[in-house]
Amino acid sequence: MVTFEEIMEARALIRNIAHRTTLMQSQTFNSISGNNVFLKLENFQKTGSFKIRGAYNKIANLTAEEKGKGVITASAGNHAQGVAYAAASQRIKSVVVMPETTPIAKITATKGYGADVVLFGGGYDDAFRKAAEIRNSTGMVFIHAFDDPYVIAGQGTIGIEMLEDVKDLDIIVVPVGGGGLISGISVAAKAIKPGIKVIGVEAAGFDAVRKSLDEGKIITVNTANTIADGIAVRRPGDGTFSLIHNYVDEIVTVTEEEIASAILMLLERAKIMVEGAGAASLAAVVDKKVLARGRNIGVVISGGNIDINLVSKIIDKGLIKSGRKVEIKTILRDKPGQLRDLLDLLASAKVNIISVNHNREKEGIELGFAQVDMVLETQGRNHAQTLTKMLKEKGYDVIPSF
């Protein structure tokens, strides 16, 4: 178990190491959710996530003998960077085992902080087993990503900061992987304000904590894929499960589409880049998984270490979903001026043309005709529908993508 006193000790220890991150209110998310939403921006923390808090608290509390052996951990990325940074600050050797699927940005950052990186397996659990093998053969000290009292206490300092900044918070919403973050926050928050509600958010494919609570015992879920790699944990820890059972009020899940939408919304509306795990908590609020109205809700944005290639895909998908990016196919006579006339119509409708493919050789196209495939940027779904209607009225046989 972890006590509030231990969290306060962690706070004093990490005070000059971890940033006290902003608790920012968002009118956009207030309006969407019908609540007063405050974002705890741990994506602006050192190493890009909250993990430095727990990692430093653990490593700084090692004995001189333990520090001499070096430290090893397994992580999907954020804990890896926290351990690497903390170990370097204490002049300790560190080895990090990361899944082979870890985004390049997180691997590069971890190496940049001074750790030796070993890539192994398809997920956290595979990396954990490999790290255990290395620990057994070398004698290095294992720094668990979540199931450790010092790590949990370090993460709990977030709860103290949130309630100091906004004393009348009614609910705190926290992303959940192995459970270290929500365990620490819930212990701290309920020690300060016993009536506060703490809600955890899991990715739908990695809902091990929710299922474990339902079954009354720890459950391991089958492997799934998620863009929220920071909370892609198949099994909660023994210690974290006990704390969650005692202190957390509810666990909800969000889909991949909801997470992606929240990432895009944070980027476009709040100008904040957040990773999938960090956006999961906001997704639960804006998609009404958290049933509340007119309440003060603290939302933990746990990290911002996202692969830029993934950001590009999310933006693209989001534009398509909102109708701001559409594909249109039509058939034209293969005569001079036909394509120009079509493009003039699009320009008059205030449509931005991203690409045009004019194909007269495609199978199924009659001689003397050509198929035109266009990707267009519109002002939204209504604009796209108006455009399609106009083209049909002008005699074009249009096939839209929406």
Domain range annotation of the chain: 1-321, 323-400
Q: Which of 51, 130, 190, 197 is catalytic?
A: 51
Give me the pLDDT at residue 123, please: 76
> Helix 149-165 to helix 180-192 angle, to the nearest 10 degrees?
50
The answer to whether 51 is a known catalytic residue is: yes
* Parallel/antiparallel/unpaired status of strands 36-41 and 296-301: parallel
d(CA 389, CA 174): 45
Give me the pLDDT at residue 274, please: 96
The residue type found at 69 is: K
| Token duo for residue 305 | 């270490």
Give me the pLDDT at residue 401, please: 78
CB under 8 Å to 28, separation ≥6 — which residues?
Answer: 265, 269, 270
Q: Which of 40, 75, 302, 325 is catalytic?
A: 302
Domain 1-321 has CATH 1.10.10.10: no
Domain 323-400 has CATH 3.90.1150.10: no
Give me the pLDDT at residue 60, please: 96
The answer to whether 302 is a known catalytic residue is: yes
d(CA 244, CA 233): 15
**What is the pLDDT tens value at each position of the chain, 402 positions in all?**
899 999 999 999 999 999 999 999 989 999 999 999 999 999 999 999 999 999 999 999 999 999 999 999 998 789 999 999 999 999 999 999 998 988 787 899 899 999 999 999 987 778 889 999 999 999 999 999 999 999 999 999 999 999 999 999 999 999 999 999 999 999 999 999 999 999 999 999 899 999 999 999 999 998 778 999 889 888 999 999 999 999 999 999 999 999 999 999 999 999 999 999 999 999 999 999 999 999 999 999 999 999 888 898 888 888 888 888 999 999 999 899 999 999 999 999 999 999 999 888 888 888 889 999 999 999 988 999 999 999 999 999 898 877
d(CA 355, CA 369): 20
Compute how many other C-beta atoms are within 10 angstroms of the C-beta atom of residue 16.
6
Do the beta carbons of residue 221 and residue 198 sit within 8 Å?
no
